[in-house]
Structure 1
């Protein structure tokens, strides 16, 4: 858009900046998800007066460990991880296929 429609680009950029975007992640691509979810959990009480007590996980243990270590609501609040059946099924299929090939 920047090259093809400079005016539209400026309009979108201004709108984006007004939205108070907090895109400030610096690190590896693999750490993006866990860093983002911890940040969202930690600010949820202040911004929205709510706590995320359950979340659907894709099997990424880095995210799980990050949430537990961050203790976003204190050490007495347990956050329950629910496993996404689609991700679980895919991993199970891949593991069974590997065993079958052996």
Structure 2
């Protein structure tokens, strides 16, 4: 008998934003670029596209340091992340998610 692998549905844009912002927030608002890329679980080109959108919206900034590149949550980004987290919690109460 052939085994059928079930695929999870693709993540929404909001869920990807949430995952990226959460990854940064979990590192006290400043995370290594490579760490966020790994936790976002996206191909590099798509990851860069989402980062550009988050930067354009003023949610994150990129810092270059001697020890590597970092992504930093702005105050606006932290507020947006908190609201997404609340929304996700609310949706999960109804069996849904971002």
| TM-score, normalised via structure 1 length | 0.26
Larger Rg: 1
Q: Which has the higher helix share?
A: 1
Q: Which has the higher contact order (CA 8 A, sep 6+)?
A: 2
